[in-house]
Amino acid sequence: MPSHKGCQTAGGNSHDPNVPDSVENWFQRAARVLDRHASTAALVLGGVGLGFVPSLLEIFYRDGPWAKRLIAGGVFILILLLYTYGTREQARRGTRVVELEAENESLRNLIRSFGSDYPDIWAGKLQVLGEELGFTGDDRVSLYRYDETDQTFSMVARHSEHPDLRKPGRSVYPAGQGVIGRAWNASGGCAFVDDLPDPTTDGDGYRRISDRDWNLPTKVLLGLAMHSRTIGAYALKRSVPARVWL
């Protein structure tokens, strides 16, 4: 089998063995620098050269050796070309910068708009889900996002026909509390309870079972606007980032 040593591989660069690497790299770097700063250099050289224009014109129009006059005229034309090229390129780049800034601002506005509409988009999806499940004003459905770093949930969106139940509750939900935490940590990714005591007639029993079975202490329950007897949660662990329906 023939050896592949010394062969050019995919994506490799051709290289003249007679040219040292250091010299070739120097020329490549110089070419890149010149390409990036050509217009600026031309503008600077042209601007400096404009200061010599009166002297060049005096040499050109004054009687003297034709070679000297020809050189003066050539330098004068070169100065004008450098200055014109530098000015036009700088103006073109300035226009491009303005265009890019306008595009960036449009993208930022789009991102801000998407960020502000994100909860509304999901709230609309939850509304459709609630309608499919036949929810009434006594029911609600919420979507939570899990934070791996803090091991907590934060609410993304919520829907209920009842305006008070639609309001956001706690800003952070510990992953070990309530039906949310049970669903998240369950092997099947879901949790359900439908036999909690009636909080209006048996408040003590409701608080006791919530604390004992669902790790919801009384101080947390007192801050909840909705004291449900039937709660179900489903973990969407395959989505990124992970979320939980409740």
DSSP class per residue in 1-58: ----TTPPPTT-----TTS-HHHHHHHHHHHHHHHHHHHHHHHHHHHHHHTTHHHHHH
DSSP state for residue 196 in the 8-state scheme: P
* 75: pLDDT strictly greater than 80: yes
Q: Where are any strands of DSSP class E within 53-210?
A: 141-147, 152-159, 173-174, 190-193
Q: For the chain, what is the largest distance between any 2 Cα atoms, rounded to a whole number of angstroms?
A: 117
For residue 116, what pLDDT band results from cuts at 50, 70 and 90? low
For the entire predicted model, the pTM comes to 0.48
Domain boundaries, the chain: 21-96, 135-245
Per-chain mean pLDDT for the chain:
76
Please name the amino acid found at residue 218. Answer: T
What pLDDT, on the 0 to 100 scale, is given for residue 240? 45
For residue 15, what pLDDT band results from cuts at 50, 70 and 90? very low
107 burial type by CB count under 10 A (0-12 exposed, 13-18 middle, 19+ buried): exposed
For residue 246, what pLDDT band results from cuts at 50, 70 and 90? low
Task: Report the percentage of the chain scoring pLDDT > 90.
Answer: 2
Q: What does the block give as tokens for 59?
A: 């040499």
Q: List, for residues 141-161, the tens digit of each pLDDT value.
A: 888 888 888 888 888 888 888
Mean pLDDT (whole number) for 86-96:
81
Contact yes or no for 170/163 (Cβ under 8 A): no
